[in-house]
Amino acid sequence: MRIEALNGIAGRFLIALMALMAVGIGLAKADPVRGGTLNSTLWPEPPGLIIGINLNAPTLLPATKIFEGLLTYDFNLNPEPMLAKSWEVSKDGLIYTFHLRHNVKWHDGAPFTSKDVVFSLTKFIPEVHSRSRATFKRVQVTAPDDYTVVVTLKEPYGPLLRSFDAISAPIVPAHIYEGTNYRDNPANRHPIGTGPFKFDEWKPGQYIHLVRNDDYYIKGEPYLDDIYYRFIPDSASRALALESGQVQLATQNDLELVDVKRLNSNPSLKVTTKGWEWGSPISWLEMNIRRKPFDDVRFRKAVMYALDRNFIRDTIFFGFAKVATGPIHSSSPFYTDDVTKYAYDPAKAKALLDEMGLKPDADGVRVKIGLLGLPYGEMWDRLSQYIKQALGAVGVEVTLQPSDVAGWGNRIANWDVDMSTTYLTTLSDPALGVARTYLTDNQKKGVLFTNTSGYSNPEVDKLFAEAASLPDQDKRKALYDKAQKILTDQVALAWLVELQWPTVYSAKLKNVVINGLGPNGNFASAYFEK
């Protein structure tokens, strides 16, 4: 009996000890390790590193380690502190008060203060940031002291608190940019931020090198010594670099999705699709409505019917996507699927083209157009090739137009295209990431990621404006539902798929995806396990 009793006590002790270990108490909880170099692939090579001036995906991945916003956001898109340590919102939703951290320095050693925030939100962002200018033109920003910022609205704007991340509202140094040409400032070639990593070197065609900011305001962070973003043009070489351990991180356009299943079976690697909750990206085929035949809605509908988007999802994106039904991501509370649908139907496409009078010639060609493909790698090249083939099957002859990243962006921004492929983050609220693409007054020639297609509808403009200003979520959704129906019926764009980007990383790399910004987080807490 005594032995049995002792065994029972010992068993209960072991169970208790295992429970403590399971929740991370005692020896089971490993402390982050300081040191080590993170090598990440980055493709294609970005056009620049200043967020706002550049919003291309390859810009954001390294630049979010250099620049920060007032806030960041968890997986549920709830706000968390960054440069602001706390904040309050008035009961009427018109006044947002941010309390800034006191011990922050710019990478050149100058102190960070409220002056930098006021300058960034009222001068820099409205001038250069194609997406956020619509948000911050609504606000008045004041600074009662060096560490307090007050943002005041004339009317409620529900999405505002989700607008202060490093991508939507990067805080830049006023002492560097004030009174200068923001786009030509010499600091653009040597970025100065407040983030956990400082810019060290950009070797064209090879890498971007960031080093630890030893004066970072969170004690002990960052843990990594430095980060290299390495430009490896060939997708097979990027996958091999991951498998061999030469690089420890890849995401977005770094990866050929066909390789992900194989990489996921490698015990030295981890794969996650988390971390894109903030972005909610949608890929589409954009048509320049200012030009014929795109100004005729029948042609735009014919394009939709000619494309097999299930094929695009399964064969080009290898299942890491979902067929898009319209301008708002299906994860959004403002999404509706009660919209005009376009199933794959080449016969309907041909009938619409016939109705337009676009009859096939002796070679079966009805019309000739150009397609500027997104120059982000083989996957996007295959998408362009498929679009060429699918439209060719209904008599629309497509000429593919190659370009580098800078040329692609310049041509689209200046409306110098027939059609183009792209993808865009639609964000946590349609007022932040969706409306910009369709609003008539957001046709800004020379500025990328605005309304570059030329779509214009006063009713849609009114619906987006009213929805942005209402505090009631149900009323907002009703307005967005109407906007989605109009936009899909008029085929403002040819929406293709909602993207589900995988991030592949070394199993020894910890804290790489910790919130809704995923690999666009600042990596202050990332470290290598021993």
**478 burial type by CB count under 10 A (0-12 exposed, 13-18 middle, 19+ buried):** middle
3-state secondary structure 182-251: HHHCHHHHCCCCCCCEEEEEEECCCEEEEEECCCCCCCCCCCCCEEEEECCCCHHHHHHHHHHCCCCEEE
In a domain, 133, yes or no: yes
The CA distance from 20 to 197, in Å, is 35
Whether residues 144 and 98 fall in one domain: yes
Helices 346-355 and 297-306 pack at an angle, to 10 degrees, of: 160
Q: What is the pLDDT of residue 472?
A: 87
> Are 464 and 361 in the same domain?
yes
Q: Are residues 495 and 397 in the same domain?
A: yes
Q: Which domain holds residue 209?
A: 31-67+195-272+503-530
Rg (CA), the chain: 25
Query: What is this structure's pTM?
Result: 0.84
Q: What is the pLDDT along the chain (530 residues), one digit of tens a residue?
A: 333 333 444 444 444 444 444 443 333 357 899 999 999 999 999 999 999 999 999 999 999 999 999 999 999 889 999 999 999 999 999 999 999 999 999 999 999 999 999 999 999 999 999 889 889 999 999 999 999 999 999 998 989 999 999 999 999 999 999 999 999 999 999 999 999 999 999 999 999 999 999 999 999 999 999 999 999 999 999 999 999 999 999 999 898 899 998 999 999 999 999 999 989 999 999 999 999 999 999 999 999 999 999 999 999 999 999 999 999 999 899 999 999 999 999 999 999 999 999 999 999 999 999 999 999 989 999 999 999 999 999 999 999 999 999 999 999 999 999 999 999 999 889 999 999 999 999 999 999 999 999 999 999 999 999 999 888 889 999 999 999 999 999 999 999 999 999 999 999 999 999 999 999 999 999 999 98
Buried b (16+ CB within 10 A) or exposed e, 64-102: bbbbbbbbbbeeebebeebbbeebeeeeeebebbbbbbe
**Is beta strand 226-230 parallel, antiparallel or unpaired with respect to 197-203?**
unpaired
188 within domain boundaries: no
Whether residue 389 is found in the same domain as residue 461: yes
Bond from prior residue into 222 cis (ω within 30 degrees of 0): yes
pLDDT (tens digit per residue) in 390-449:
999 999 999 999 999 999 999 999 999 999 999 999 988 999 999 999 999 999 999 999
For residues 367 and 479, membership in a common domain is answered with yes
Shared domain check, 487 and 386: yes
Tokens of 291: 């030009």
Q: Are 125 and 133 in contact (CB under 8 A)?
A: yes
Round to whole Å and give the CA distance between 65 and 318: 30
Give the domain CATH number at 47.
3.40.190.10
Taking the CB of residue 195, how many other CB atoms lie within 10 A of it?
Answer: 25
pLDDT at 418: 98
Encoded amino acid at 445, one letter: K
For residue 422, being part of any structural domain is answered with yes
Based on the fold, state whether residues 266 and 367 are members of the same structural domain: no
Instruction: Report pLDDT for 134.
Output: 86
- Domain membership of residue 20 (yes or no) is no
Closest CA to 100 of 85, 112, 89, 111: 85
Please indicate, yes or no, whether residues 85 and 114 belong to a single structural domain of this protein.
Answer: yes
| CATH number of the CATH domain containing 369 | 3.10.105.10
pLDDT in tens, 135-169: 999 999 999 999 999 999 999 898 999 999 999 99
**DSSP code of 287?**
E
Q: Are residues 222 and 155 in the same domain?
A: no
Based on the fold, state whether residues 442 and 460 are members of the same structural domain.
yes
pLDDT at position 20, please?
Answer: 42
Q: Is residue 451 part of a domain?
A: yes
Please report the pLDDT score of residue 471 as a whole number.
82
- Tell me, yes or no, whether 478 and 367 share the same domain: yes
Q: Give the chain's domain count.
A: 3
- The reply to whether 414 and 520 lie within a common domain is no
Displacement of CA 260 from its chain's centroid (Å): 20
3 in any annotated domain: no
The span from the CA of 498 to the CA of 78, in Å, is 22
Does residue 36 belong to any structural domain of this protein? yes
The pLDDT score that the predictor gives to residue 15 is: 40
* 3-class DSSP assignment, residue 511: coil
pLDDT of 383 reads 98
| 59 lies in some domain | yes
CATH classification at residue 75 = 3.90.76.10
